[in-house]
Amino acid sequence: MDPVAAAMIILAAFTLILAAAGAGLYRRVRELELATYQGVGLNVAQSDPTGTLAELAAPGRMTVAVKINRQCSICDELVATIRRIAPSLEGEVQLAIVSDDPKFAKPVPANVRVITRPEAWRAINLPYVPAAVVIDEGGVVVHSAPAGSSAVLEEIIHRVAISGEESRREADEVTS
């Protein structure tokens, strides 16, 4: 066989393999992107027939609910982050932990809601754990994201706190 023909065949095979891998990777990225936005726009009170998620909506303020799993080491780190951040957010942002552990006994500040009912954990229907779900004052999910580290959770909470301050300032300007 001619060496040029052999090289062309090998290059063609390599190109086909690379294209197939790229197509598979693109499909997986799209699946993950769609999963990130799953649930956005749903009203938690209306989408949950059992009513277990209605308590996540805090009148007059945004809620960041963190869905955790009892067998997740990252989830322990997130609870520690919530414990550290929660005292400084008194009145600005409602923090909630939704756990699948009915015997959840980790210490958290008094201003953090802990929901341990299995139906509530299942009602936050996201394909990943841990997850952060941002719920507005009216009970509508405005953002959901994987909460894979303390830094990610801190950033989400910080953004929600900033957006809440901006909303209050705008409301004050309108009423003045």
Indicate the class that CATH gives domain 44-175. Answer: alpha beta
* Predicted pLDDT at 18: 93
Query: Is 33's pLDDT higher than 90?
Result: no
Rounded Cα distance between 16 and 59, Å, is 56
* Predicted pLDDT at 66: 92
* Predicted pLDDT at 120: 78
Residue 47 tokens, joined: 């989408």
* Predicted pLDDT at 49: 59
Q: In sequence order, which residues have a C-beta less than 8 Å from that of residue 112 and are 6 or more positions away? A: 82, 83, 86, 95, 96, 97
Pick 128 or 11 by higher pLDDT: 11
Amino acid at 23: A
50-105 pLDDT, tens digit per residue, is 665 667 777 778 889 999 988 888 888 999 999 999 888 877 788 999 988 888 88
pLDDT level of residue 13 (50, 70, 90 thresholds): very high
